[in-house]
Amino acid sequence: MRQIRFNHEKEIAQKVLKMYLKEAIINQQAGRVIKADKNKELHIPRYLKEALNHDLALKSAFDQLNLSKKRDFAEYIETAKQESTKNRRLQKIIPMIHAGIGLNDRYK
């Protein structure tokens, strides 16, 4: 996560913190950088795939979304553990896909 959080000064382990800072400085000087994998493959879960195959208008609207919105919707369905939750989430996102609205647009 590349962050350390403290609520009180007493929580700070100075030896550990110094060790991490030295390691970060060495890595920065050596040019070591962690880059995000931007070309990650889009995995569409079964529930969403079935809905797209049954509704051509939904598939057309989904195809017009950008990749990040598609990933958000796919992850939203995939992270549900119960079948009933997956169905509920699918019913929630179908109107959003038709409208071209992303799952997290109101927060951006």
Q: What is the pLDDT of residues 17-70, one digit of tens each?
A: 899 889 989 999 998 888 877 777 889 999 899 999 999 999 999 999 999 899
Q: Per-residue pLDDT for 79 more than 80?
A: yes
Question: Residue 63 is part of which domain span?
Answer: 46-107
| Inside any domain, residue 10 | no
Give the chain's count of helices (H) and strands (E).
5, 0
pLDDT score for 1: 55
Q: Is residue 67 in some structural domain?
A: yes
Residue 50 forms part of a structural domain:
yes
Q: Is residue 19 part of a domain?
A: no
